[in-house]
């Protein structure tokens, strides 16, 4: 049974983030629940790596003094699974925005799909999505994007150690990626479509690992709250 002192001294919580929640909302919810259940006036709570609202999976949440370890956890290798759709693009590179362009796909074979993954293994240059929380001139990129303002974003070097297509269902490709901090899987989906002389966007994403932390060890927000109230 964990006490208020345990949470203040520092805990690492593995949460399976649900769809349509922001990482910030998860942190706020857990902070509020911990404070209420254990009568703590103030406690630090933070996450080690943002997940987009349309992504699910592993969020590493740190409390109290363990928040000092957030940068260390953020820098660790991450694994994702998901689905990308060929033949069309969206401005956000995922389903946050509507399809804005379609492309031919008749020339794409399964063999070409598998071979093209090789282009994305190793250190690659990647442009972050314009619909992202990165800041430029003190403003989030998605704020520029939603206002219809163009903004130049420099590319960045990221490292992908594994990229495999696990299932092909017509234009829907299931995949698994192991990558460095700062990799945008939405950008990978968009770039993969371009490499096939077509288009591509992300339709589903799930983070399965951060370093040695695995989503199979994570708990839902509901279960965390239930266990917290019984402590």
Q: Return the active site residues.
A: 52
Please give the backbone phi and psi of residue 189, each rounded to the nearest 5 degrees, phi first: -60, -45
Q: Taking a C-beta distance cutoff of 8 angstroms, is the pair 162, 121 a contact? A: yes
The token pair that represents 94 in the structure block: 């995922």
Instruction: Find, among 31, 61, 64, the residue nearest to 47 by Cα.
Output: 61
Contacts of 104 (CB under 8 A, 6+ apart): 87, 198
Instruction: Find, among 76, 174, 164, 172, the residue nearest to 121 by Cα.
Output: 164
Alpha carbon distances (Å) from 142 to 72, 92, 132, 167, 199: 27, 9, 5, 32, 21
């Amino acid at each position: 049974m964990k006490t208020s002192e345990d949470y203040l001294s520092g805990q690492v919580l593995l949460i399976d983030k649900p769809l349509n929640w922001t990482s910030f909302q998860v942190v706020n919810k857990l902070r509020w629940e911990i404070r209420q259940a254990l009568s703590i006036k103030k406690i630090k709570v933070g996450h080690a790596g943002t997940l987009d609202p349309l992504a699910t999976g592993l969020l590493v949440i740190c409390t109290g003094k363990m928040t000092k370890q957030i940068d260390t956890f953020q820098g660790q290798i991450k694994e994702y699974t998901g689905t990308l759709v060929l033949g069309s693009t969206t401005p956000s590179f995922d389903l946050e925005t509507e399809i804005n362009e379609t492309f031919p796909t008749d020339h794409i074979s399964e063999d070409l799909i598998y071979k093209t993954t090789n282009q994305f293994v190793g250190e690659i240059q990647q442009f972050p999505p314009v619909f992202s929380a990165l800041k430029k001139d003190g403003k989030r990129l998605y704020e520029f994007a939603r206002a219809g303002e163009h903004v130049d974003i420099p590319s960045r070097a990221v490292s992908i150690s594994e990229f495999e297509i696990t299932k092909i269902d017509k234009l829907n490709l299931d995949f698994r990626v192991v990558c460095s901090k700062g990799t945008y899987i939405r950008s990978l989906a968009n770039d993969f479509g371009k490499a096939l002389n077509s288009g591509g966007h992300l339709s589903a994403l799930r983070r399965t690992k951060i370093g040695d932390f695995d989503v199979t060890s994570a708990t839902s927000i509901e279960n965390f709250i239930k266990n917290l109230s019984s402590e």
